Structure 1
């Protein structure tokens, strides 16, 4: 499964929101009986003031943030002049400055080779068409079919960032929560968006729950995967550094992509559509 936890399915979120409101002091209509026994309508005042964000308005805000349009083929796309694209550009501009500085420092020091590590889903490949089609919900079967199509567009500016890093002598690694069985589709999709870099087993790391590598052997006990996203990704970054690299930058759209250490700098790309713990 791609995501360990979705922020909410829309239907479930509505149900949960209703449950959260019930009994928490949110304003409700009721009746009151006066001294003469006459019933009159009344409004119960909110006690907490913590009413959740309206789910319909939230979806509209997400659509607007990405500047979502639908092309003639029915594919939902983000706009290159959206707030989302602007926020991504800000992150990548900072990353390029850091890469230039760090690469130069490594050249002078002649120490471990500099490297960057990138998550794939919504860090390199944008899945907004899937999110929009499913109304920001997740289903394992439809997600797997979507990944196998290998036609996701690039997150704005990320292929250029990868080229920039390589031009400065920085090695590029990919570290994803996608299963090992999705390696071929992901590699095809990355090539489709112009990412021309190594995608072998030592440069592109996919989650293999059935047969984890030795450095992640602790993640599988009695055939059951028991590592969190942070443990899986931090453990893999630790392994990369053990092979002679200094990870100068780690990129992801989830905080769990970035936590756990083994990176000099971290770069969080925006993603308001789901959450992975």
Structure 2
């Protein structure tokens, strides 16, 4: 009781209410985080950081592939191979699953409708990495958190974005939900059971890469959203 009275008294000086000191555990302001993430993208720093990680991966693939029997790489799709920036910006970094996406650059933009429209562009550096890997006889597999009902749209989008071929496209079964790593790691294991050695796995989320079954992993920058 005495501590409560002292605290209340300390907040009032000459009748003025003073702001309480912020808790050390208080999270960053969401509005400030949106401003910072937008500035990071628009300044070009995001693309430079992205391309830097891709360049590191490409050097590793060029080094490891000749020493490996049936080498393969595994790529995530969203914010790894294809960019959803137009949808992210239109929704002000929120996630709106349902609804149309027909007023870009204005929102709202339904994420499922956006993905099924096949309008996402490919990252140029990732497309070049894929072409370089294929030229050196490295198999390319996509393992995405998108569900199976988006297979046709995803294949069409990859083709429209200039990615002509791949060795496998794994989408989540319609009954699969929950943590991405619980689906992605076993899928990489399935690929290796086919006789491939995954020399590199690339993704924008830690959950894309955790769980093993890759000689080396490369985490691409993505401050825009988190998928556990």
Residue 103 of structure 2 aligns with which residue?
Answer: none
Residue 96 of structure 1 aligns with which residue?
Answer: 58
Residue 90 of structure 2 aligns with which residue?
Answer: 133
Cα distance between partner residues in 2 of 1:244 and 1:192: 30
Residue 179 of structure 1 aligns with which residue?
Answer: 147
Cα distance between partner residues in 2 of 1:259 and 1:179: 20
Tell me by how many angstroms 1:47 deviates.
5.8
1:233 paired to 2:215: no
Residue 256 of structure 1 aligns with which residue?
Answer: 207
Q: TM-score, normalised by structure 1?
A: 0.71
Cα distance between partner residues in 1 of 2:51 and 2:22: 42
Q: Which runs of 5+ in 1 are unaligned?
A: 1-27, 34-38, 68-80, 211-224
Mapping 1:112-261, distance limit 5 Å = 113-141=70-98, 142-198=110-166, 203-210=168-175, 225=176, 228-261=179-212
1:66 paired to 2:46: no
Computed over aligned residues only, the root mean square deviation of the Cα atoms, in angstroms, reads: 2.0
Q: TM-score, normalised by structure 2?
A: 0.85
Tell me by how many angstroms 1:166 deviates.
0.7
Cα distance between partner residues in 2 of 1:233 and 1:60: 32
Cα distance between partner residues in 2 of 1:170 and 1:83: 30
Residue 222 of structure 1 aligns with which residue?
Answer: none
Q: Secondary structure at the match of 1:140?
A: coil
Residue 32 of structure 1 aligns with which residue?
Answer: 12
Tell me by how many angstroms 1:196 deviates.
1.2
Tell me by how many angstroms 1:52 deviates.
2.7
CA contact (8 A) 1:121 1:127 kept: yes
CA contact (8 A) 1:124 1:159 kept: yes
Q: Secondary structure at the match of 2:144?
A: strand
Cα distance between partner residues in 2 of 1:227 and 1:64: 31
Cα distance between partner residues in 2 of 1:57 and 1:150: 31
Tell me by how many angstroms 1:51 deviates.
3.6
Taking a change above 3 Å as real, the CA distance of residues 158 and 226 of structure 1, as seen in their structure-2 partners, is: closer
Deviations 1:120-164 (A, max 9, x none): 111111001111111111122111110111011112411101001
Taking a change above 3 Å as real, the CA distance of residues 137 and 226 of structure 1, as seen in their structure-2 partners, is: closer
Q: Which runs of 5+ in 2 are unaligned?
A: 1-7, 99-109
CA contact (8 A) 2:12 2:18 kept: no
